[in-house]
A = this chain, B = another copy of it.
Amino acid sequence: MSAYDERRKKLYEWMVNERIAMVMFEDTEGRRDPAIRWMTGQPSDALLFLSAEGKSLLVPWDANMAAVYAQADVVIPYGEFERRSVKALQGAAALFKIPLGSRVEIPPVTSYTNFLKYVGDAGEYDILCRNSGTHGEAESLRAIKDEEEQEIYRKAGGITNEIIDLLENNITAGRIPTEIDVVLFIEAECRKRGCEGTGFETLAAGAGRSFGIHAFPAYTAEPFAGPGLSILDFGLKYRGYTTDVTLSFAKAPLSPAQEKMLSLTEKAYEKALSMVKDGVYTREISLAADAIFGKARKAMPHALGHGIGLEAHEAPYLRSRQDNTWQLRPGMVFTLEPGLYDPVHGGCRLENDILLTESGPELLTKARIIRF
């Protein structure tokens, strides 16, 4: 039984318990859902239907790609349904012999306007659109990486660390002088090592631009790592899974305010890492990091961290909002990324990827603040 089969099997069981006869997943521009890749291997652009009786139908935009990558019981190109998701849903229900009136679940991100269309055009089924339904279950299952995924992450982390070392050596020696040089260096080095590419647009913000949480544009032809604080945030995508790290380069001379920002960021990071264990509420970790900044009358303008996987941001989430009820569990892979930003002094962030195992946190990556 392949990993894809095992992942689908968990959802079939959940569907039976919840009396869901069929579920539709959708992965398309504007509504990406890597659950389809997770359950079939199809990299993108498809619908996936699962029946509670344990059958799967993949409806890819590109049948040639599906023939190479995808595993599903049945594959029917989207064109055969006039590229209309409602028609595909009806076709899947006919294929699976879903009884009229059965509960059929569609993605919770379905727009209100599209929801009305499904209910209008496929009213012969009981259409469900819920945050805590089968899609939420898939998201929760994806948050716990299985053994195959954990091995992928150890490999991805190793490649990320090789590149971190190369970056430190070459940047501090002045051999990669501009933001764009840094970004293209990462692109080239990661693909040489078998990565699919970067997991998101690399952010390389030299000292003049590091005040932004997400510098805009993400990189330019300006110098990188001149005097002051520079931020480099990147991730490598390996077999679909992305790492996500941030290095800060702190080139002398630094002002006392800049030194203070760096030491606070490191302190918040160490505090957060020390709290990582099975069962802890991520909100507690996030509040502890906030408290360190708060004592110094500073504030972090973003969340402490987030899960990573087939998406650059996925469950679990590590943030201070009251509605955050996530707890860490063995198998979770997530970032810790405290940072501070100031329009005058610039910004700094330190971000690494952690796999929580049965025996504690395993640091997958070795990003750091590089003073030189």
List residues of A whose CB falls within 8 A of some B CB: 29-32, 43-45, 61-62, 64-65, 67, 69, 79, 82-83, 108-113, 115, 129-131, 180, 183-184, 187-188, 191-192, 196-197, 201, 211-214, 216-221, 301, 313, 321, 341, 343
Residues of B within 8 A of A67 (CB): 343
Q: Chain A interface mostly helix, strand, loop or mixed?
A: loop
Closest to A181 in B: B188
Closest to A194 in B: B221
Residues of B within 8 A of A183 (CB): 187
Closest to A312 in B: B29
Q: Which of B191, B212, B220 contacts A220 (CB under 8 A)? A: B191
Inter-chain CA distance A313–B28, complex, in Å, is 13
Copies of this chain, complex-wide, total 2
Q: Which of B131, B187, B214, B313 contacts A45 (CB under 8 A)? A: B214
| 29 cross-chain CB contacts under 8 A | A29-B313, A30-B31, A30-B32, A44-B214, A61-B213, A62-B214, A64-B211, A64-B212, A65-B212, A67-B343, A79-B301, A82-B321, A108-B111, A108-B112, A108-B113, A109-B111, A111-B111, A111-B112, A111-B129, A112-B129, A113-B129, A113-B130, A113-B131, A180-B187, A180-B188, A183-B187, A191-B219, A191-B221, A197-B217
Known contacts A43-B216, A108-B113, then 18 further A-B pairs from the complex at CB < 8 Å, ordered by chain A residue: A30-B30, A30-B109, A61-B213, A64-B211, A64-B343, A65-B216, A79-B301, A82-B321, A83-B321, A111-B111, A111-B112, A111-B129, A112-B129, A183-B187, A184-B184, A187-B187, A192-B221, A196-B217
Residues of B within 8 A of A31 (CB): 30
Q: Which 8 A-B pairs have the closest CB atoms?
A: A112-B115, A196-B217, A112-B129, A43-B216, A112-B112, A109-B111, A113-B131, A180-B191
Q: Is the CB of B111 within 8 A of A62?
A: no
Question: Max chain B CB contacts within 10 Å: which of A111, A130, A180?
Answer: A111
Residues of B within 8 A of A130 (CB): 113
Closest to A341 in B: B64
Inter-chain CA distance A164–B45, complex, in Å, is 29
Residues of B within 8 A of A109 (CB): 30, 111
